Structure 1
Amino acid sequence: MGFEDQKNDQLQIPKIRFEGLDLSQAGSPRWDSARSHVIAALQTYGCFDAVYGVTAPELKGMLFGRPVLDLFELGLQEKLQNTSDKPFLGYIGNSLPNVFPYQYESLRVVDAHNLESVEKFARLLWPGGNPNFCNAAWTVGKHMRELEQMVEKMILESMGLEKYFVRQVESLEYGLRLTEYGIPSDQENKLAMRSHVDPNMVTVICQHQVGGLEVLSKDGDWITVEPSLDAFTVVTGEAFGVLTNGRLEPCRHRVKITSNESGKRYSALFSSRPKDGVVVHPAEELIDEAHPQQYRPCNYNEYLRYVATTKEEKSMKAFCGVAKEETRA
């Protein structure tokens, strides 16, 4: 069965409540309850909706007003100042039709939880630096990073790897990617982004008003994830699959815009990825006779270059997976 098959509007991904939680509450009954729901959702769906309560509407309202409109109203030459020497980490859009053959533009703010980093990004695009955009992106980045780190800690605790949490956090960098979707070029299937898995550790997805996110269930059904005023969608990526020796499979998802409403679709994605030079490898504690090693150590940036250049299958399993013959040896 292909990845573009049947859609199931009846299924829903789990919603898990995070209101009032922070890292200082690790070990509390509320924390432990949320953790058990998080790991169950990730093992079953690879994703869940994190209910952030009254904070989420405020954050979405702050970001998706003038700040995002100001960003995408800029000319292409200004947007192209958002560059990176690594694949897919700067501006992506209509300037790369062979790579992304759909109508969308996307820019990435490195370390959006750090005000100085956001201000540096803004000075590249606007002569005056756009303080309104900076305040919005920074505030959203701080909260999304807090949520991302809570999810990381809960996963590590569930896998018996809590002692590695500080080292794990120190090994990561973060980015906020803001995206504007136009009319899908694939009018028959309404696909604005093909099915894929993220290469990183965790992605926190914020949809604004116009939906489109769909995730693939283990039964091969596409589940529609409707925009939620009080929630962010959390998905795990390939790098976490390597770290957990395949215990957590990356969430396959796509964007399919079927709404008849006029206008554009906007989203914000806050993701964590290994820093330059970091090698991702399965935790030794998760390798045993029942769970043979699934991956060889993987340099994350080398994998990104592989994805950007190869015409072969593009997955961490193809790049650094242990062959069945090696597993049996």
Structure 2
Amino acid sequence: MGSVENKHLRLPLIDFSDLDPQNPATQKWAIARSQISQALEAHGCFEVIYDRVGPELRQELFGRVMPELFDLPLEAKQKNSSCFGKYTGYIGQIPGLAYESLRVDAAATVEGLQGFERLLWPQGNPRFCNTVWTYAKHMQELAKMVHRIVLESLGVEKYYDYHIQPKTSALRFSEYDVPLDQETKTGMFGHLDPNMLTIICQHKEGLEVQTKEGEWIHVVPLTNSFTVLIGEAFKVWTNGKFQPPIHRVNMIGDEKRYSVLFATRPSDDYLLEPLEELVDGDHPLLFKPLKYKDYITFRYSEEGRKCKNPLEGYCGVRSKVEA
């Protein structure tokens, strides 16, 4: 695949401003459903306008919360560990990248936030918790709407309660400093997300998404927009109908860049498998059932990191699944 940036390409932009999940039988809801289905088929992602996160909350996140978080000593940040591997808690000190990242599990719950707070600020930091909890709750509602609309577009809305209940979520805060490689301006290498859904809020440009043809779309954020990407777990669940996009970060300018990622994923005991309605003679079964936590353990193991396609290597039915 090539790596040419096409400055004329844009991700589909879908307006969620007036959508009411309590009243889905509207023309605007139907239009959004059609737009999302087309966007996921074409790109595996889209931009969404969502006004419930206002400029004040964004300024609090990017202007105070995140600089305060990343100014903590390295030994404090490294306490943010995970039993799933080195790339599922604190991430940093990667050769060639001026990048650090921390993850808050169950950020939309008081328990999850308080656990993170006690880890990094034993003396407490209620302002941090209040800001992050407010943001996470908004992202949780947005994620639920996206999941519901996608289920409707697939004709399997009957699974909504079953599908949404075993989901858990996390926030990932990322800081990109002045790139070490001034020629490539690389902030983060191209990669796929393993989870179900990722909602990205970036306060400065840098995110790029690769098309199926190998071109790169430069994502220009609006003051009220978010980027929604599906992950490998979503690919399993839809039996390959929707493909997760490769994405990366290329820095612009010589200032720090922050982003906040809200991700949904199956709970530890949830058995993830393709929906039976999406498997037939024209669409044969592509993936065996798996538990997400087991796949993550494999994906970040030495064996998994050697796989060109770790998802296929772990649970693929056929010898080759087109990525």
Secondary structure of the structure 2 residue equivalent to 1:7: coil
Task: From 241, 248, 262, give the equivalent of 2:242.
Answer: 248
- Alpha-carbon spacing, 1:325–1:203, altered in 2? closer, same or farther (3 Å): closer
State how far apart, in whole Å, the 1-side matches of 2:320 and 2:261 are.
38
State the TM-score, normalized to the length of structure 2.
Answer: 0.93
1:37-186 equivalences under 5 Å are 37-53=35-51, 55-87=53-85, 88-94=87-93, 97=94, 101-186=96-181
Secondary structure of the structure 2 residue equivalent to 1:84: coil
Cα distance, 1:56 vs. partner?
4.0
The corresponding residue for 1:323 is: 318
- Alpha-carbon spacing, 1:268–1:114, altered in 2? closer, same or farther (3 Å): same
RMSD: 1.7
Cα distance, 1:324 vs. partner?
5.2
Q: Conserved in 1, the CA contact under 8 Å of 2:237 and 2:274?
A: yes
Secondary structure of the structure 1 residue equivalent to 2:91: coil
The corresponding residue for 2:299 is: 307
State how far apart, in whole Å, the 1-side matches of 2:271 and 2:198 are.
19
The corresponding residue for 2:33 is: 35
**CA offsets per residue over residues 240-295 of structure 1, 9 Å max, x none?**
110001110011111111x22x3211000000011113221100011011111111
Between stretches 36-45 and 111-120, larger displacement belongs to 111-120
State how far apart, in whole Å, the 2-side matches of 1:85 and 1:22 are.
38
State how far apart, in whole Å, the 1-side matches of 2:51 and 2:213 are.
31
Where in structure 1 are there 5+ consecutive unaligned residues?
none
Structure 1 position 18 matched with structure 2 position 16: yes
Q: Conserved in 1, the CA contact under 8 Å of 2:312 and 2:320?
A: no
State how far apart, in whole Å, the 2-side matches of 1:112 and 1:54 are.
18
What residue identity is the alignment partner of 1:270? F
Task: From 218, 223, 241, give the equivalent of 1:229.
Answer: 223
State how far apart, in whole Å, the 2-side matches of 1:65 and 1:229 are.
14
State how far apart, in whole Å, the 2-side matches of 1:44 and 1:302 are.
30
State the TM-score, normalized to the length of structure 1.
Answer: 0.92
Where in structure 2 are there 5+ consecutive unaligned residues?
none
- Alpha-carbon spacing, 1:58–1:35, altered in 2? closer, same or farther (3 Å): farther
State how far apart, in whole Å, the 2-side matches of 1:56 and 1:224 are.
24
Q: Conserved in 2, the CA contact under 8 Å of 1:56 and 1:231?
A: no
State how far apart, in whole Å, the 2-side matches of 1:17 and 1:152 are.
16
Cα distance, 1:22 vs. partner?
3.5
- Alpha-carbon spacing, 1:93–1:22, altered in 2? closer, same or farther (3 Å): farther
What residue identity is the alignment partner of 2:260? A
Q: Conserved in 1, the CA contact under 8 Å of 2:53 and 2:135?
A: no
Secondary structure of the structure 2 residue equivalent to 1:178: strand
State how far apart, in whole Å, the 2-side matches of 1:144 and 1:79 are.
24
What residue identity is the alignment partner of 2:180? S
Q: Conserved in 2, the CA contact under 8 Å of 1:307 and 1:314?
A: no
Cα distance, 1:61 vs. partner?
1.6
The corresponding residue for 2:258 is: 266
Q: Conserved in 2, the CA contact under 8 Å of 1:103 and 1:192?
A: yes
Structure 1 position 199 matched with structure 2 position 194: yes
What residue identity is the alignment partner of 2:206? G
Between stretches 21-30 and 303-312, larger displacement belongs to 21-30
What residue identity is the alignment partner of 2:235? G
**CA offsets per residue over residues 67-107 of structure 1, 9 Å max, x none?**
1111011001111221211123311111xx36xx4111111
The corresponding residue for 1:277 is: 269
**CA offsets per residue over residues 83-136 of structure 1, 9 Å max, x none?**
211123311111xx36xx411111111111113321221121113321111111
